[in-house]
Structure 1
């Protein structure tokens, strides 16, 4: 075994094998670093996507809250209008209510 190493060292092949091994290690390191950079970039891109999605969710929730508030106000207004009409009808004499009802159903 030592004879083979001595022969390789004397012919200069051992030097080239060392350089090739160092180059392979450098290439492997660069490739792994590239993978790491790609993973970091993907993580940053996904963080941006998550932030955008959270922003959209917040906008939808705000829109829903506004819609719920408008619907609640419309319901309250409708209930108040109904109460007012019922009170007006209750204050009228029955004959007037009957006449209005007949006029309404004929038209």
Structure 2
């Protein structure tokens, strides 16, 4: 067995140790940045709250969204739910509301996803 130095990453999470205070910090900053880059949101500024008004998430019409919009929205919510499960329980409520629209997403739902992210 060979010592390769101090552990920096484990399972995609960045690990930082403070030996003096006996603390370990886990972050998924790299995953979150990759998620922002995936949706071309590198340059967006953070919002003060991730919660979106629930009234804005109701479908505006009974028309079905295109299959491409539906697939992209499902993928986006899947990636967001992974982040919620691993490191960001503070956005779980918003992610849960976004997940309720997986079968019929509209442009308003995409905007709400962008707001949460």
TM-score with structure 1 setting the length = 0.21
Q: Which structure's CA Rg is the greater one?
A: 1
TM-score with structure 2 setting the length = 0.20
